[in-house]
A and B are shown apart, each in its own frame.
Chain A
Amino acid sequence: DAGITQSPRHKVTETGTPVTLRCHQTENHRYMYWYRQDPGHGLRLIHYSYGVKDTDKGEVSDGYSVSRSKTEDFLLTLESATSSQTSVYFCAISHRGGLNTEAFFGQGTRLTVV
């Protein structure tokens, strides 16, 4: 398995609280991604990073922010969690973005907002 660690693996939080999910890689890949997976919607991109301090929005970025201060770490923050953000969150890494290259996924974080 590619060296990707997501933490925490499971979390239950209350509506309105901030939540931060962490993705740590040991592969030195340039690109890092945060997806959410929901039934009927597949994998939807939240934000991605193409280098330290370089990030861009994905398809479902509202209510989320990200930071990448080191190559190996990519943080996803739910600024004020809502029940609609209950989901499974996956981090992925890639050597060359979408250019004919594999994306490696973490094990996922199951987040429940109550």
Chain B
Amino acid sequence: QQQVKQSPQSLIVQKGGIPIINCAYENTAFDYFPWYQQFPGKGPALLIAIRPDVSEKKEGRFTISFNKSAKQFSLHIMDSQPGDSATYFCAASGMNTGNQFYFGTGTSLTVIP
């Protein structure tokens, strides 16, 4: 059973557009929600993370929006660039959910110049 559901599976945007990737979870014990970015041939790397006590977090052009009541969170990429083309994974973890991270299925983003 997928603990974290991610959509869309793939996304194509023009340079300068704002791609949005959505994730949803059911387990209310999750209290840490990171996003990972993966380039071809590389391992995933932490991009940005949020805790449920805030509704939004920005780091550069990347923003996480968090809706605790809906149990949803999303990644927005402002002014997207071709170099942002990668696969993005959302994830969730928590103190009482085992010593592991639960990943979404990934979104392949292509930014067209």
Residues of A within 8 A of B (CB): 4, 31, 33, 35, 40-45, 48, 50, 56, 58, 90, 92, 94, 97-108
Q: Using a Cβ–Cβ cut-off of 8 Å, how many residues does chain B contribute to the interface with A?
A: 27
Task: Report whether over half of chain A's contact residues are helix, strand or loop; otherwise say mixed.
Answer: strand
Which residue of B6, B93, B105, B106 contacts A98 across the interface (Cβ within 8 Å)? B93
A50 CB contact (under 8 Å) in B31, B42, B99: B99
Q: List 29 A-B contacts (CB under 8 A).
A: A33-B100, A35-B103, A42-B104, A42-B106, A43-B89, A45-B100, A56-B98, A56-B99, A92-B43, A94-B101, A97-B98, A98-B93, A98-B95, A98-B98, A98-B99, A98-B100, A99-B32, A99-B94, A100-B31, A100-B32, A100-B93, A101-B32, A102-B46, A103-B34, A103-B46, A103-B101, A105-B43, A106-B43, A108-B43
Q: Is B45 an interface residue (CB 8 A)?
A: yes
Closest A residue to B46 by beta carbon equals A102
Within 8 A of A (CB), among B1-59: 6, 9, 31-32, 34, 36, 41-46, 49, 51
Structural contact, A105 and B97, CB atoms closer than 8 A: no
Given contacts A42-B106, A43-B89, A102-B34, contact A97 B43 (CB under 8 A): no
